[in-house]
Amino acid sequence: MQQQATRLAKLNASLRRKHFVSKQQADQLREEKLTLETQLNTKDQQIKQMEEHIHHSNNNSNNTESSICIDMSKSLIAELISPETPPPQLTEEQLVKQLNAEGKMIIDGRNPNRPHFTLQELRNVLIERNELKTRLIEVEEELSVYKRAGYVIIYYYNYHHYC
């Protein structure tokens, strides 16, 4: 009888240790999940801001830049086609500049609405967001494994209250 009591006491102590470790792991996973969700939400907000900024910039810059290019093209064509006016006397350098500018997007460095992010920067943010989502899914799966194994997840303050 004494041996059974000793064996049960050892078993009880072992189970308490395992339960304590499991609770700690569950708490860590929950905290990591919250951190990942916060990071993911932050990245999503950054992506939305970038998309809005790019969309806004593209609308503004496309309107002004395309109108500049169209105006340049129209004026050049009008000058070349117009029979009553003699062709303008452009130097070779001016003609090359005008032809090189045709159909190109002209970005003013002082324009606050110009695109601020490169395509590579946007790709990097999207990749990082996807990695965070993947890690969040992994943490949620690991947390569900602990829940299915019968471990009760107790909040941090409950843990200190009972121990």
Quick check: is 7 in a domain?
no
Find out whether 130 and 44 touch, Cβ atoms under 8 Å.
Answer: no
What does the pLDDT look like over 91-106, one tens digit per residue?
A: 767 766 766 666 666 6
Find out whether 56 and 113 touch, Cβ atoms under 8 Å.
Answer: yes
Quick check: is 136 in a domain?
yes
Token pair for residue 26?
């569950």
What does the pLDDT look like over 11-26, one tens digit per residue?
A: 899 889 988 988 888 8
User: Which residues span the domain enclosing 71?
Assistant: 32-162
pTM, entire model: 0.41
Quick check: is 2 in a domain?
no
For the chain, the domain total comes to 1
| Distance in angstroms (rounded) separating the CA atoms of residues 42 and 148 | 31
